[in-house]
Structure 1
Amino acid sequence: MANNGGPRKPLVAERRYPRGGKPGPKKTPPKKSAKPARKRPVRRHGLIVGLLLGLLRFFGSLLFKVTWRVFAVIALVLGSFVYYYYTQLPPLETLLDGRTRGSVTMLDRDNQVFAWRGETFGGQITAKNVSPYLREAVVATEDRRFYHHFGVSPRGIASAIRINLSEGRGPFSGNGGSTITQQVAKLLCLGVEYDPKKWKNEAEYETDCRSGGLTRKIKEIPYALAMEAKYTKNDILTIYLNRAYLGAGARGFEAAAQRYFGISAANVNPQQAAMLAGLLKAPTRYAPTNNLARSQARAGTVLALMHEQKFLTDAQYQEAVAHPATLSEAAQKRAGGYFADWVMDDIPPFLSSDTTEDVIVHTTLDQRVQAAAESALKDVFDNKVKDGSKAEAAIIVMSADGAVRAMVGGRESKVTGAFNRATMALRQPGSTFKPFVYAAAMDMGYTPDSIVQDTPLTLNIPGSGPWSPQNYERTYSGPITLTQALTHSVNVATVRLQEEVGRDAVRKVAEDFGFGHNLAKGPALGLGVSESTLIDMTGAYAGILNGGSSVRPYGLTDLRLKGDQTPIFTSGGGIGERVISEKAARELVYMMHSVVENGTGRRAKLNGYEVAGKTGTTQSARDAWFIGFTADYVTGVWMGNDNNKPLTGVTGGGLPAEIWHEVMTRVEQGQESKPLPMADPSEWRGQTQPYDGQTYDGQTYSSDGTVVSGWNAQNQPVQQQEPNIAEKIINDVLGAITGKR
């Protein structure tokens, strides 16, 4: 073969093995990439753009580094607070009763609850044992995502901020977007206990705990997260159900269900559950005892939320809307507000207003009698008092031993903490004081037929000069019986009798019967110029009915701590010492019965029942009274103006007697008629015929039987006429001449 490319290289065989040894493993050459790496093309920018981009990259990197560090610090701080609160949270059972003070529950004479004072706690309940409707109503109303969040709802907070800003408020003013867990945190005051040195009262403490704002919201978050870590969702809801305030002194849903509906929270229906859940927004405003219609409207909103969130079927929703919740009978009555306040004032503060225990008080109140008194007063003012009248009235009904069965302290009966005119108002009793004058006389041996002169009287008062009492009719009736003097409320005869028996004797009888002290020293004492309260006056009349023994009006029968069977103390009231003899008391009842049958108290008559009583009207008609009794009850009625202005056209024998009649007609309805414990006239009357100047039953007769003084058949006073002197002389002369005298 020709060599065309120059000299050839020598042929050398390929070396198969390395020198000096056996062949080693074959080395695998490194794999080469199928495609070489593609280099990013370098972009070129202008100076300004490049500078800006560099700055953005720098600040972006810096911001990222700062941000994650800030978040890391926040997370660390938040975690520290959460851990701190977690370690401080107590066992669940200690958080269910959130009251710093106890409550007072009052029972009537039939052991039925009629009033509460303080914050009542119905007993511990759980989210599992309450009515499912109640649990669902609370969740639907307050926090529909309760079972799905971790204690704080960013969506809820953002929504609340948006609403607040749209309504012109600050971002954290108004709606707070709080979850149920956050609300529980507020109820627990973030673990801060009440300190009387820091807060003036519990109300100020709770206001501070529930204050809003950004600072409070920030504090709530770690506490809420700690609660979510410590307790289950049902535990948190259990705390809420037990601690929430729901108006009318009810703390917790069990107390509220009992207060408003008379049933347990385990048994409420959808409409009742909706009404209770609706109270959470504003307990006092929406309390059904405050405004039932407003509470029902709010419950309607809650029912709509429950239906929208599928907690109620269409049929259940329609049924609940068609039949809204109403109050129990006891809650509707709101009976005995004045009575309950009066009883509370009679209990030591450490067992009433300042109690740290739950106290049960058994009382003398009769809710049937209370309702009768309230309805009677309303009926008279609605139908017999002119529109716009500012006149007030008060009523006391008690048994003969002083046990108060009903009390109305003013025209607005369903109130708490109001001025009680039955126990607080000191007013002149006027002629209702007169029975004490006659009681003193009866106890000294006078009889209802004893004679007293109703003729002009002038007394010289040391330091004041002469004083002449006047009768209401400005007329005089001459010699009359004590019965007739009291029946027609004769002022002059009463003062004359008082002067005969002695003012000190009258004053002692009045005080011993419980009228009070600081009685007038002068002769006007017998006309009722000293001041007293309606309850003291009614109690004094109870002493007349019970046979002459004093009474101390009382409303409490015993007091015990909840759950205890042994009372801490019992009533300090009831019948006391004897004031006048039973004979004198029975004679006085007879005379007061005549007041109603024949005298100033005729409007108080009751068909089928014997009644005794006395009217009273003070100077210028500033006060008008009627106090009377049947065999069963003593009832006192007062009317007047709070500013002490005179009444218009009202006397004790008018509207007060009519109110008394309306009260007792209702009270005695269906009750057995019993005779009054009064004396029989045969016990003191002889057989003397009422002629030849004799006085019989208040009438003084001439020899031919003509009434010359006293009251005629029409019950009108017959004024004794002064004889004409000239006519008397002529008649005497003629008589001497003719031999006729």
Structure 2
Amino acid sequence: MSDSGRKSGRKAQPLVADRRYGPKPAGKPKAKTKAKPKPKKAAARKPAARKTTARGSKTKRGGNPIVRFFRAIFGWVFGLIWAFTWRIALMAGLVVGLAVSYVYSTLPEFTALLDGRANGSVVMTDRRGEVFAWRGDQFGGVVTADTVSPHLKNAVVATEDKRFYRHFGLSPRGIASAVRINLREGRGPLSGHGGSTITQQTAKLLCLGVVYDETQWESEAAYEADCRQGSLWRKGKEAIYALAMEAKYSKDEILSIYLNRAYMGGGAYGSEAAAQRYFGKPAAALSPAEGAMIAGLLTAPSSLAPTSNLQRSQNRAGVIIGLMQDQGYLSSKAADNARANPATLSPAAQARAGGYFADWVMSSGPEFFTRNSTSDVIIRTTLDQRIQQAAEDAMNHIFSEKVRKGSKAQAAIVVMSADGAVRAMVGGRKTKVTGAFNRAVQAKRQTGSAFKPFVYATALELGWSANDLVVDEPITINIPGSSPWSPQNYDRKFHGTVTLTEALRTSLNIPAVKIAQEAGLENVRKVATDFGIGSDLAKGPSLALGASDTSLLEVTGAYAGILNGGSSVRPYGLVELKMQGDSDPLMTSTGGIGERVISEDAARELTWMMHVVASEGTGRRANIPGWEVAGKTGTSQRAKDAWFIGFTADYVAGVWMGYDDNTPLTGVTGSGLPAEIWHETMRRVHQGMTPRPLPMLRGGRPARNAAPDPFIDDTRTGIDDLLRGIFGGN
């Protein structure tokens, strides 16, 4: 060092350590004291930093190999799933978007979707123009979410989809809730509650755009069943369709489609039809209680229809009123008022009058307009609701008061005017029905002695008189191809010489057979047919005793021909038919008075004879105080059928009673319960009316024969103890 120092010319530095601390600065001794610990802290931190670094270095180099293995596996799997998920999600989104775009392009304007019925409706009005029945798929007309009552709109949203105006067509929350409920109740996730929004329900009502084609489906029911299926694939298509609808239509347009197409029971499609059907008012005028009742029908339209069970429908409406209150659509006061005054049916809906009559008009009217039409038809009919109610009340009264409990006997009633205009029809004991077996029209039964007036009508037309004589005595008639036949009276007695009026009054069989033979069976058959009995009439002498099968409507119509003076009638119920919205009818009356069958004198004399039956003979129970009545009883072979057909100057009525399975009646003949049903019916029908005399030739014409009848039968052999073909005589 000394050499180098000398060489440099500098003085050698002393070998001493560098000064650890700098010179003491002037002033601020306290700051110097505070700064003093800094190096110590830094020095103290260095080992910690080195320790951390060492640990970190150790982790990178080593660690738990099992943990590192599973972490690596997890990371790889997660990365793989993520890679697939976002790609699949992207592809699914593209597919859904394309599907929604395609469905969107196929959707028509929303106005074309409002009426989705395959068939039209038939609305029937009575003779005074009041609606009493509906048939077919009733559609009251187009409504929108803006034109219906706000109470109905709010009730539907509150009940079916309270988030309707906030979701995009699907409700994940609703779907999850429905799946949870289904699983909790032990069903499959898609069985039961569907969690469907109103948009999805509308998509289902539209059958996802598939239009009914009768060539592609076995029936409309099969088509509708396919539309309602709940498979996972179907749910997916429904969701796509719902999204497309949300993109195409506004919320109110979707709700309008729903309000027009939803089935609401009683044959009513849409809220307007339901409002008219149940309350007799437009959907725009519904109260909160009425709106809630209609909204309640959407879940189970058939079982909850107020015409099926009003109490159940009112209970359901009460629940919906609570939902409307909870969601702010009704104040507490308004909700309480709606609960205190539940919706009730209109008088027409409550009466449910003329079900059998309406069915008959539908079946007898032109098929194109009544059963196959896709348009809406209005039919004005001959029905008189007052008379219809009278017939129904009479039926119920007799069966509740005079028929033993548990009896399965049935009855039918027809009331008409003298021109064949049917004013009332009851086809069975259950009066408030639709589509039931109509015994007034569909049942073909033997008339028994109720056929005898046509035998005497033929004789009177041929010149006989009501006062002519006939001998009631044993006879036997040889029938070609059959054994000899010996008719017998109901009382199994013979009454000697009697007038035609007496024979009819007591309903003697033997005189009727003898008169028919004398007048000619073909003539009798022709007179009965011309009067309107279109059934296949018997060809043998048993024709005179009502051996032929016919309907109550036909026989009653034939009696109307006697009342109107001898002209045939065709019973009818349709007065005019027109398309809804049109002022001019497409067709008018399909029946009425036809050609003359017998002379007016013969008809008036026959009316006198039938008046004697009702006033003094077998039909006495049918009499109405203050009124002149004409009629005839009838009891068929072995009392399987009992009849009373009769008339006043204003109306003709017919009553049949029997069993559907042809079981013989016990203790019942035409002069019994049928006459009483007739009496109860016509007593009610004529209440408040002024009595009018019957158009009859009182006392009849003078007798043509003063001696016993000239009827001779050389084959007469007495009474055969083994009688065949015995027919009731009263």
> SS of the residue aligned with 2:133?
strand
Deviations 1:229-249 (A, max 9, x none): 111111111111011011111
Shift of the alpha carbon at 1:5? 11
Partner in structure 2 of residue 508 of structure 1: 526
Does 2:603 align with 1:585?
A: yes
Does 2:336 align with 1:318?
A: yes
What is the CA–CA distance in structure 2 between the aligned matches of 1:332 and 1:7, rounded to whole Å? 136
Q: Which amino acid in structure 1 is aligned with residue 248 of structure 2?
A: K
> SS of the residue aligned with 2:115?
coil
TM-score w.r.t. the length of structure 1 is 0.87
Partner in structure 2 of residue 521 of structure 1: 539
**In 2, are the aligned partners of 1:456 and 1:492 still within 8 Å (CA)?**
yes
Q: Which amino acid in structure 2 is aligned with residue 466 of structure 1?
A: P
Matches for 1:410-489 after TM superposition, within 5 Å: 410-489=428-507
Does 2:304 align with 1:249?
A: no
Shift of the alpha carbon at 1:685? 7.5
> SS of the residue aligned with 2:478?
strand
Identity over aligned pairs, percent: 61
Partner in structure 1 of residue 31 of structure 2: none
Partner in structure 2 of residue 62 of structure 1: 80
Deviations 1:582-632 (A, max 9, x none): 000000000000001100000000011110000001121100000000111
Matches for 1:218-297 after TM superposition, within 5 Å: 218-297=236-315
Shift of the alpha carbon at 1:142? 0.5
Does 2:655 align with 1:637?
A: yes
Does 2:113 align with 1:95?
A: yes
Which one of the candidate residues 654, 669, 685 is aligned to 1:667? 685
> SS of the residue aligned with 2:581?
coil
> SS of the residue aligned with 2:395?
helix
Does 2:369 align with 1:348?
A: no
Q: Extract unaligned runs of 5+ from structure 2.
A: 12-48, 709-730
TM-score w.r.t. the length of structure 2 is 0.88
Farther-moved stretch of structure 1 (98-107 vs 655-664)? 98-107
**In 2, are the aligned partners of 1:173 and 1:213 still within 8 Å (CA)?**
no
Partner in structure 1 of residue 718 of structure 2: none
Partner in structure 2 of residue 51 of structure 1: 69
Q: Which amino acid in structure 2 is aligned with residue 362 of structure 1?
A: R
Q: Which amino acid in structure 1 is aligned with residue 699 of structure 2?
A: P
Deviations 1:518-559 (A, max 9, x none): 322222111111111100000100000000001111111121
Matches for 1:603-642 after TM superposition, within 5 Å: 603-642=621-660
Deviations 1:177-228 (A, max 9, x none): 0000111111111111112232212222122112112112111122111111
What is the CA–CA distance in structure 2 between the aligned matches of 1:106 and 1:517, rounded to whole Å? 29
Shift of the alpha carbon at 1:502? 1.8
Matches for 1:554-573 after TM superposition, within 5 Å: 554-573=572-591
Which one of the candidate residues 361, 367, 389 is aligned to 2:379? 361
Partner in structure 2 of residue 33 of structure 1: none
What is the CA–CA distance in structure 2 between the aligned matches of 1:545 and 1:499, rounded to whole Å? 25
Deviations 1:348-380 (A, max 9, x none): 332222211111111111111111111110110
Shift of the alpha carbon at 1:89? 1.2
What is the CA–CA distance in structure 2 between the aligned matches of 1:585 and 1:536, rounded to whole Å? 18
Shift of the alpha carbon at 1:7? 4.0
**In 1, are the aligned partners of 2:553 and 2:571 still within 8 Å (CA)?**
yes
Does 2:161 align with 1:143?
A: yes
Which one of the candidate residues 551, 554, 569 is aligned to 2:569? 551
Q: Which amino acid in structure 1 is aligned with residue 293 of structure 2?
A: M
Partner in structure 2 of residue 159 of structure 1: 177
Q: Which amino acid in structure 1 is aligned with residue 65 of structure 2?
A: L
Mark the CA change 1:493 to 1:215 in structure 2 (over 3 Å): closer, same or farther: same
**In 1, are the aligned partners of 2:266 and 2:305 still within 8 Å (CA)?**
yes
What is the CA–CA distance in structure 1 between the aligned matches of 2:227 and 2:492, rounded to whole Å? 70
Mark the CA change 1:370 to 1:685 in structure 2 (over 3 Å): closer, same or farther: same
Shift of the alpha carbon at 1:401? 0.6
Q: Which amino acid in structure 2 is aligned with residue 207 of structure 1?
A: A
What is the CA–CA distance in structure 2 between the aligned matches of 1:640 and 1:46, rounded to whole Å? 98
What is the CA–CA distance in structure 1 between the aligned matches of 2:10 and 2:251, rounded to whole Å? 97
What is the CA–CA distance in structure 2 between the aligned matches of 1:609 and 1:529, rounded to whole Å? 32
Which one of the candidate residues 191, 210, 222 is aligned to 1:192? 210
What is the CA–CA distance in structure 2 between the aligned matches of 1:653 and 1:393, rounded to whole Å? 14
**In 2, are the aligned partners of 1:452 and 1:482 still within 8 Å (CA)?**
yes
Farther-moved stretch of structure 1 (514-523 vs 87-96)? 514-523
Farther-moved stretch of structure 1 (561-570 vs 619-628)? 561-570
Partner in structure 1 of residue 665 of structure 2: 647
Shift of the alpha carbon at 1:517? 4.2
What is the CA–CA distance in structure 1 between the aligned matches of 2:68 and 2:515, rounded to whole Å? 122
| Alignment: residue pair count | 661
Shift of the alpha carbon at 1:469? 1.4
What is the CA–CA distance in structure 2 between the aligned matches of 1:629 and 1:554, rounded to whole Å? 18
**In 2, are the aligned partners of 1:180 and 1:237 still within 8 Å (CA)?**
yes
Does 2:115 align with 1:105?
A: no
What is the CA–CA distance in structure 1 between the aligned matches of 2:215 and 2:531, rounded to whole Å? 47
What is the CA–CA distance in structure 1 between the aligned matches of 2:563 and 2:95, rounded to whole Å? 78
> SS of the residue aligned with 1:508?
helix
What is the CA–CA distance in structure 1 between the aligned matches of 2:495 and 2:242, rounded to whole Å? 87
**In 2, are the aligned partners of 1:456 and 1:476 still within 8 Å (CA)?**
yes
Does 2:224 align with 1:209?
A: no
What is the CA–CA distance in structure 2 between the aligned matches of 1:164 and 1:439, rounded to whole Å? 73
Q: Which amino acid in structure 2 is aligned with residue 602 of structure 1?
A: R
> SS of the residue aligned with 1:467?
coil
Shift of the alpha carbon at 1:8? 7.0
**In 1, are the aligned partners of 2:441 and 2:552 still within 8 Å (CA)?**
yes
> SS of the residue aligned with 1:563?
coil
What is the CA–CA distance in structure 2 between the aligned matches of 1:8 and 1:428, rounded to whole Å? 160
Q: Which amino acid in structure 2 is aligned with residue 661 of structure 1?
A: H
Shift of the alpha carbon at 1:516? 2.1
Does 2:691 align with 1:680?
A: no
Farther-moved stretch of structure 1 (67-76 vs 391-400)? 67-76
Partner in structure 1 of residue 28 of structure 2: none
Deviations 1:480-524 (A, max 9, x none): 111111111111121122222222221111111112243222221
Shift of the alpha carbon at 1:682? 7.4
What is the CA–CA distance in structure 1 between the aligned matches of 2:702 and 2:440, rounded to whole Å? 38
Matches for 1:29-40 after TM superposition, within 5 Å: none
**In 1, are the aligned partners of 2:466 and 2:700 still within 8 Å (CA)?**
no
Mark the CA change 1:132 to 1:431 in structure 2 (over 3 Å): closer, same or farther: same
Shift of the alpha carbon at 1:46? 2.2
What is the CA–CA distance in structure 1 between the aligned matches of 2:452 and 2:143, rounded to whole Å? 59
What is the CA–CA distance in structure 2 between the aligned matches of 1:280 and 1:175, rounded to whole Å? 14
Farther-moved stretch of structure 1 (382-391 vs 115-124)? 115-124
**In 1, are the aligned partners of 2:467 and 2:701 still within 8 Å (CA)?**
no
**In 2, are the aligned partners of 1:513 and 1:550 still within 8 Å (CA)?**
yes
Specify which structure has the bigger relative contact order, considering alpha-carbon pairs within 8 angstroms and separated by 6 or more residues. Answer: 2
What is the CA–CA distance in structure 2 between the aligned matches of 1:130 and 1:232, rounded to whole Å? 17
What is the CA–CA distance in structure 1 between the aligned matches of 2:114 and 2:518, rounded to whole Å? 71
Which one of the candidate residues 111, 115, 140 is aligned to 1:122? 140
Q: Extract unaligned runs of 5+ from structure 1.
A: 10-36, 696-741
What is the CA–CA distance in structure 2 between the aligned matches of 1:248 and 1:485, rounded to whole Å? 52
RMSD: 2.1
Farther-moved stretch of structure 1 (40-49 vs 671-680)? 40-49
What is the CA–CA distance in structure 1 between the aligned matches of 2:206 and 2:522, rounded to whole Å? 64
What is the CA–CA distance in structure 2 between the aligned matches of 1:52 and 1:133, rounded to whole Å? 62
Q: Which amino acid in structure 2 is aligned with residue 649 of structure 1?
A: G
